[in-house]
Amino acid sequence: MAQALALTTGLLLLTAVLQLWRRSLSGSTSLLAIQGAALAGLVITVAIAEGAPELFAVALLVLALKAAIIPMLLHRTALKTGGTLETSHRVHPTAGLLWAALLTTVAFLAARPLVSASPGPLTKVAPVGLALVLLGFLVLLTRHQAVSQLVGFVILDNGIATVAFLTSGGVPLIVEIGVMIDVLFVVVILRVLASQMRSVFGATDLDDLTELRD
């Protein structure tokens, strides 16, 4: 189980960090799909460790939505709107990696009381979830393209789910279904908005849409 935890949480963290390096939107959506598969693998690991067979259904749902449907929708949105590269210059890729290292360190330090209060193999890697939340916020703050910001939002949600599964042994199936459907609805709605932005303004770079300030 320790190896499975190390592999899945390592993939979760690595794919989030690489989002700050990649500028290709298709590459970002591919990384998001890998992260979704890693989250599903983490849920399966928790299901085995906690003896909770109902979590296998959650794992299948996570795999379908976060490793397939949502990345596919984002990829198609990028193709439809003509956006292939993230044009943000707020954070250089190298600086982004440094920020990722700093935020990951902060996450592990901030989660130390939680790990100390309930020591165990699952809670020991719970700081990875908090790191995903912080990295998701960083992607949201440093990206211009609407699709890239959606990627940041999904990373943030994956981080919240990771913390929930590692600290409480999972959440009720109906709650997880509701949360993931909400995320799917947000992605679909913002996909439509991104398409409308492209048709009206000719771009999905949010910083270029100065007309919206009037």
Question: Domain coordinates of the chain in residue numbers?
Answer: 2-205
User: Greatest CA span in the chain, whole angstroms?
Assistant: 56
pLDDT value of residue 214 = 47
What sections of the chain are H helices per DSSP?
A: 2-19, 25-50, 55-64, 70-81, 93-110, 112-117, 121-124, 127-142, 146-168, 173-201
pLDDT value of residue 73 = 87
pLDDT value of residue 34 = 97
194: Cβ contacts below 8 Å, ≥ 6 apart: 77, 81, 146, 147, 150, 204
**Per-residue tens of pLDDT for the chain, all 214 residues:** 789 999 999 999 999 999 988 878 888 999 999 999 999 999 999 999 888 888 898 899 899 999 999 999 888 888 876 666 666 656 777 888 899 999 999 999 999 988 888 788 888 999 999 999 999 999 988 887 778 888 998 999 999 899 988 887 656 555 666 667 767 777 777 666 666 655 555 555 555 554 444 4
**Token representation of residue 165:** 């599964």
Query: In terms of Cα–Cα distance, which of 27, 5, 34, 36 is closest to 180?
Result: 36
Instruction: Say what the pTM is.
Output: 0.84
pLDDT value of residue 1 = 76
